[in-house]
Amino acid sequence: MEEVKQTLMHDLRALQAEIDALLSDESNPFDTLPDKVDTHNQLLAKLFSCYQEEDIDEPTMNFLKATQSKISHWTEQAIEERDETRQNLLKLAKGRKARSQY
């Protein structure tokens, strides 16, 4: 079981690095991001299921706390992107409305 836990944490770290890279690349259209985040959530759920009957050891707890922080940061970034996109769409809509009135 320990090997499974280590493999899951390794896979989660790799996905976290991919997600961080996608979020930091301004030219990225975010097409693959939802799938990566879903996969991350599934792996995280599998890791939690490994600990149903036992206490979580300190290294794993530290990993989970760091993961929680990353998820929080990703959420903040997604909200900022959404708000920026919303503002851009509003500007476009106002421009179209103004053009249609002339």
Print pLDDT tens along the chain (102 aa): 789 999 999 999 999 999 998 888 878 777 778 888 899 999 999 998 988 878 888 999 999 999 999 999 988 888 888 898 899 899 888 887 777 776
Residue 52 has a pLDDT of 82
Q: How many structural domains are present in the chain?
A: 1
Residue 43 neighbours by CB under 8 Å, 6+ apart: 8, 11, 12, 15
Six-digit token string for 59: 């290294």
Residue 69 has a pLDDT of 93
58-101 helix and 2-24 helix, angle to the nearest 10 degrees: 30
Residue 51 has a pLDDT of 87
Q: Domain span at residue 63?
A: 2-101
Residue 5 neighbours by CB under 8 Å, 6+ apart: 47, 50, 60
